[in-house]
Each structure stands twice: as C-alpha cells, then as structure tokens.
Amino acid sequence: MIRSLRAGLLGGALLLGLAASAAQAHSPYLLPSVFDASDRTLVTVEGAFTESFFTPEVVMKSDAYAVIGPDGVRTPLAPTYLRQLAVAEIVTDKPGTYRITTGQRAGRVAKAALVDGDWKFFEGDKAPADAIDMQSLTTAEVYVTRGAPSDAALAPIGRGLEFRAITHPSKIVTGRDAVFEVLFDGEPLAGQAVILSAADDRYADAKPAPKTFIADAKGRLTLKVERSGVYQIQARHRVAPAGPGQAGQSHTYALTFESLR
C-alpha cells in the first residue's frame, strides 16, 4: 500500500502551539510527495514554516539539508529556495528507509527571561533588565521508505533535540501505539511535552485540535492516532546560557509522519 500524501490533506490544520510564548510562531515541517517510495526512484520534499499544516508560508532555509540513506551515510542536499518553501529531490533508487533533515538551523536571536520558572520572550523595550539573548535552533525531519523498512537511518544524531523512532515511522498504524524516545544531545529528556498536530481536509466541518503528550522519566513517548492521515509531532526545549555573555538556546524539533490502517 502506498503511503502517499492525499491531495485533501494539503489543507490547513490548527496551529501547533507548544507554549504561550510560541502561540504566534510559525511551525517548521518537511513534507514528502510520498512516504512509501516503493514504486519510485525519486521523491520530492518541501520545507517551510506555517501556521496551518501543510500550507507553506515562509521558506525554511538551512545550510545543513541532508539525506541519510539506508546505508546510514549522510549526503548533503542543495534545495531550491522559493519565496514560501524549499524544494529538494531525493534519489530513492536503493531499498530501505531514508531520513530527510534540515539539519540544525540557526534562527533569530530574541530577548527572553525566566518568569515563574518558564522562559518568556519579549519584544523591543518590553524586555526586563534580567533578559538574556536566546538563540533559536530548529530541526525538521521526515522518513520515506522504498520497499521494506530499514533501521540504519533511524540512528540518533546525538546533537540538540531529536526523536529516536522506536516504532519505525514507516510502520505507524492508525489506532495502535507509536513509541519514540525524546533525546537532547543524545540523552533521554524526561517529562518533555510533545504536541501532535494533524492535517485535515480544508473543507471539513471540524478541525482536529492538537494533542499534548508527555515523555516519561526515561524520555519515552507513546502516542496513538485514531484517524489515518499525515501528522506532525513537535517539541521545544530551552536551555539557559552556558556562561556569562553567552546566549541561551531554544531548540525546536519537528517530525512529519503518515499513519494508515
């Protein structure tokens, strides 16, 4: 069965919000022309930021676009940048699973301060005296498979925020648990909030609301979708400055996957 993106799924879904400070932020994503490349030797992937999945609004540029092939080898990609999206072509002539990634891309630096234990962001002169610079670091990824799924491309990168797929992304089944491990710099991240957002037909009467899942003490995240379709899971983890005069870091990681019965 081809895990292809149905045209109706290109409509918007509700905004994926990870925190109050991110409510107005655009969410990153990668979206392939197909998830199951069994009858293809070429897959096109788009990369963008959006407030409505999966309608591109702002192009996602990165110097670290790459594909990790079924042999585990990382190969740089050179996307074509349009105004609202980046487009890359992935050669899938070998059987197995491919991991397409933006790599870790540096975004804007904003002012942030700890308020009641949470990082809050401020614009212009509204920042308090104790505000520090916070560097945005974003990674978006997606997996596609030709033939039987393989595991080499699933190995953790070990840098920044990422999800290690325990349930193979090409084997996610509607109505069944899918398990991931949330990692930061290669180590499990306990208690991390992850938001699941679904695409939906733009003409649907009701849009599915994003759902929040919490990783356990070992960083394990278990989620289940009840309807077949294309989904995105996203997490954000902020780190205080490592030393005086240094910027803090706001890490965002996003993974797109398809679930079928």
Residue 102: name the closest of 63, 145, 55 by CA: 63
pLDDT of residue 254: 98
pLDDT of residue 204: 64
Q: Is the dihedral of CA 209, 163, 2, 33 positive or negative?
A: positive
pLDDT of residue 25: 65
pLDDT of residue 202: 59
State the 10-residue block means of pLDDT for the chain, 261 residues long: 37 32 68 97 97 91 97 98 98 98 91 77 77 89 98 97 98 98 97 92 69 97 94 93 85 97 89
Q: Give dist(CA 74, CA 102) in Å, integer.
A: 12
Q: Give dist(CA 18, CA 253) in Å, integer.
A: 11
205 touches 216 (CB < 8 A): no
pLDDT of residue 119: 77
Give phi and psi for 179, each to the nearest 5. -115, 135
Helix (H) or strand (E) holding 164: strand 161-165
